[in-house]
Amino acid sequence: MTNLETPDIKNIENGDFRYLLRGQLKSLKDNLQFRKRVVCDPLCKTDTVEIERYPSSAEVIIDGRKMINFASNDYLGLTSHPLITEALKEGIKLYGAGTGASALVTGHTTAHAKLEEYLKELTGKEKVLLLNSGFAANQALIKAHLSLGANLILDRLVHASMQQALFNGKNFYRYEHNNLKKAERLLQKYENTSIFTEGVFSMDGDSPDLQQLVSLVRKYHSYLVLDDAHGFGACGISGQGTPAKQGVSFSDIDIYMATLSKACGLCGAFIAADGDFIDYLVNTSKEYIYSTSAPAYIAHGLLTSLKIINGEEGNALRKHLNELTDYFRKEARNLPGNVILLPSSTSIQPLIIGDNKRLMEISVFLKSKGILCGAIRPPTVPAGTARLRITITAAHDRNDITRLLQTLYDAFNSIT
């Protein structure tokens, strides 16, 4: 078949790959689930806009137009911090542009070792392992537990990186989101269990009760695996994430995973755990063994990023972020229309619209006014809960939040 518009009947009956492909794409478009990339650049010198300061993730350029960016996970606004960019330049001079090999060959440099040591000291764990992304880290964690014969108990809303890794597994069970009574019933029923949950859920912005969860896993001799991708750096004393925010020690979390691509402003992820488990991952995890290591200059820059996060500047950035979030939540209660603001105290502020069509109309309206928010639709979120995923960062100021609120007010009044 050469013409996708007029497929051959015989090929249709045989399930021709290209015909089925076209059908799947049409279905996505019909259901307003089709996604397209946009070219998005930080606000710096362009053909239409010129500024004299370093770029900020709070403002972006799309199609030559300046927009206030409420779709970024750069929670502390560190992606273009001058000290970090200088550290990256220094790292390139010291280590070059790439590693050229996996960590088990020649890709594990002094910079990687220093970063792992810093994170080990920060978390108090026996060992730390760097991976290229949070997705890869969660895949490695799920697959390791499955291969060791554990029964996996997961919050129903854990990240897609965990869900996808379960496809070939059998011994896994889900409990209703943040319903620890349901989790306990599963713990009572099964032995050799590991509970997987998130510190801050990426689409809802809420958190589990970690103190209660720690009590449960100790009571039933289970293991607790925490994905704190959206909490690490952004909350807690010295940016030590959701455990610190809730008064829980890293020692109470058996396996701690966090990304280095959100509050830290760069890329990658790490797993902190006991030495035996990290050694097992080093020797069995395909995500680690068969991936070229991230450039050493990234690890070098991350050491500077973490020192900022853990110091006084980091404390000031988190204080500013919390003040902006509180201001948004207070004023958002006055928004018109049939929308629901989920009970999140974090940077992630989801507004449930419900209907895909209305969500996309609101998203287009916001963009027309220079406001960029995440328009999240199923299957990323459950059917009927399409939402604006608004992320507030420390790079924003109060005027940005006021403009967002006014534009949302206008959008909800205009689109019914």
List residues with catalytic annotation.
73, 159, 198, 202, 227, 230, 262
What separation in angstroms does the CA of 377 have from each of 240, 385, 410, 416? Answer: 31, 7, 22, 18
Average pLDDT, the chain: 91
Determine the pLDDT at residue 48. Answer: 45
| C-beta neighbour count of 403 within 10 angstroms | 15
**Phi, psi at 19, each rounded to 5°:** -65, -45
For residue 60, list its beta bridge partners: 42, 67
User: Tens digit of pLDDT for each residue in 374-413?
Assistant: 999 998 899 999 999 999 999 999 999 999 999 999 999 9
Read off the pLDDT band of 56 (50, 70, 90). Answer: confident
Determine the pLDDT at residue 19. Answer: 80
**Over residues 151-158, mean pLDDT:** 96
> In which element (H, E) is residue 258 found?
strand 255-259
**Over residues 258-275, mean pLDDT:** 98
- In 124-249, alpha helices (H): 134-147, 160-165, 180-189, 210-219, 241-245
Cα maximum dimension of the chain: 69
- Alpha-carbon gap, residue 352 to 204, rounded angstroms: 10
Which among 162, 232, 160, 239 is positioned nearest to 195, based on CA atoms? 162
Determine the pLDDT at residue 8. Answer: 53
> 221: helix, coil or strand?
coil
Is pLDDT at 292 greater than 50 in this prediction?
Answer: yes
Identify the burial level of 276 via C-beta atoms within 10 angstroms of its C-beta, where 0-12 means exposed, 13-18 middle and 19 or more buried. Answer: exposed
Read off the pLDDT band of 55 (50, 70, 90). Answer: low
pTM of the model: 0.90
For the ranges 57-66, 258-267, 380-389, the one whose mean pLDDT is highest: 258-267
Please state the separation of Cα 294 from the chain's center in Å.
18
| C-beta neighbour count of 33 within 10 angstroms | 14
Is pLDDT at 204 greater than 70 in this prediction?
Answer: yes
